[in-house]
Amino acid sequence: MTYQPDILIYGIGNPGRNDDGCGIVCVEEMGHWLATQGIRNVHCETNYQLNIEDAEMISGFDMVVFVDATIEPIKDIRYTAVDPSGSRIEFTMHAISPSFVLDLCSKLFGTAPDTYLLQIKGVEWAFREKLSETGIQNVKKAVNLLKRIALKPHITYCMPEF
């Protein structure tokens, strides 16, 4: 039997702001797919934003993938490794970065899971609970990547953009 790492897929965003909900929708779709496949080593969580308490949560996993919408000029999706040395002190705890959570996890719990950020390109940000067509298409691409990761987590999928 092959070792199956414990994986956390963590969606971040506000579903009430159009494409800002891409991370949440993506992870919810993954959760449904994982249940139909009977995959038990991959876990899904969602929240509006990252919090310092998330450092404790990620400490119990071998691998973490944060999923979030972005306005950055990427093509559709971007999957990159999170570098804890890129963290900086935040002036507000309203929004903290994945690198800050990873760095805090390492400092407080003496462990750091392999951590990645899957960014989903969004184009609409109004106060409405509906993804744009672009957001929907990019969520599908992100879900397909996450399915490959869930089935074969030992393969390196880090690529600049898809």
- Residue 73 to residue 55: CA distance in whole angstroms: 28
Residue-wise pLDDT tens digits, 3-18:
789 999 999 999 999 9
Query: What pLDDT is stored for residue 129 in this prediction?
Result: 95
Q: Where are the domains of the chain?
A: 7-151
- State the average pLDDT for the chain: 91
Residue-wise pLDDT tens digits, 96-155:
899 999 999 999 999 999 999 999 999 999 999 999 999 999 999 999 999 999 998 877
In the chain, what percentage of residues exceed pLDDT 70?
89
In the chain, what percentage of residues exceed pLDDT 90?
82
Report the pLDDT averaged over residues 86-105: 75
Judge: domain 7-151, CATH 3.40.50.300.
Answer: no
Residue-wise pLDDT tens digits, 17-63:
999 999 999 999 999 999 999 999 999 999 999 999 999 999 999 99
Could you tell me which residues come within 8 angstroms of residue 41 by beta carbon, excluding any fewer than 6 positions away? 4, 5, 6, 7
